[in-house]
A and B are shown apart, each in its own frame.
Chain A
Amino acid sequence: MSTIKADTIQSSSGGAVNLTDLYPARAWGNFSNVGGPSLRRSDNVSSLTDAATNTTDVNFTNAMSDTSYAIAAAEQNASAVVHGAFYGCHWRNRSTFKIRQQWYSTDSNQLGFCILS
């Protein structure tokens, strides 16, 4: 077995690498809207915008190449009730920097999303 050690992997032209037959998440994150908004863990997310009650914008670090990406998301409220999906991702018209998500309950302490493309 070989071990590859690298800090950064890029395409030969210096851009994002294409992994043949592998489809990793383009971005993901886990956050809470209980009390002050907080982002627990994430990748390819530069920030969240707490826009209003139950409404959050996710701002990507690196833009998607277009808007035809898919979003998988779920939330769990304080009673540990897990919903399979957010109420809606109603504003996905920005490849450059944001999607907008809304969810069911006002006490969602675990919200997660994953972007696939």
Chain B
Amino acid sequence: MSSYRVIFEDPEQPEQPAMVLVPSDNWLEEAKAGLLPPISVYWALQDDEKQAIAEGRHDTFKHDPEKHAAQWKAPRIGPLTEEEAIEYLVMKDIPRHIWSQEYNRPMFKIVKTEDVPSDRQFRNAWRIAA
């Protein structure tokens, strides 16, 4: 199990509580074994889909076969440490506007797994601590 979690907030959804990203063990093993494609492969797919949504043609949207196949065909980036893999995962699975722009406070933090509260009684009030 990963030693890390990523806590993040979405500035575009201020009412949304802090979210917790939980890495998959399988995926982490693939990252450590050097089996991941360049992150740009995923960004290209996300960009195409975002554009389709903006143009209202998402129901019939289909990925460009070549870009889709790049997930398997693109040269691999080589083995990553666990810390590097978590940084890669932030760029893959957390919306780009959250980590690529500067705000007046941090919008995400990489934390140790044990630092995430296990008491969920006030789950919808979670915020990133200052």
Shortest CB-to-CB span from B57 to chain A, Å, is 11
Question: Does B49 belong to the interface (CB within 8 Å)?
Answer: yes
Q: Which residues in B have their C-beta under 8 angstroms from that of A31? A: 22
* Chain B interface, number of residues (Cβ within 8 angstroms): 41
Q: Which residues in A have their C-beta under 8 angstroms from that of B46? A: 96-97
| Interchain CB contact under 8 A, B22 and A96 | no
| A67 to B24 alpha-carbon distance, docked (Å) | 22
State which size class the interface on A falls in.
35 or more
Q: Which residues in B have their C-beta under 8 angstroms from that of A51? A: 16-17, 19
Minimal Cβ-Cβ distance residue in A for B114? A36
Q: Which residues in B have their C-beta under 8 angstroms from that of A45? A: 24, 26-27
Shortest CB-to-CB span from A12 to chain B, Å, is 12
| Interchain CB contact under 8 A, A67 and B59 | yes
Question: Does A95 belong to the interface (CB within 8 Å)?
Answer: yes
| Interchain CB contact under 8 A, B42 and A47 | no
CB-CB nearest 5 A-B residue pairs: A15-B69, A35-B118, A50-B20, A14-B73, A59-B93
The residues of B with any CB-CB pair to A shorter than 8 Å are 1, 5, 16-17, 19-27, 30, 42, 45-46, 49, 53, 58-59, 61-63, 65, 68-69, 71-73, 89, 92-93, 113, 116-120, 123-124
The residues of A with any CB-CB pair to B shorter than 8 Å are 10, 13-16, 29, 31, 33-39, 41-43, 45-53, 57, 59, 61-63, 65-67, 93-98, 106
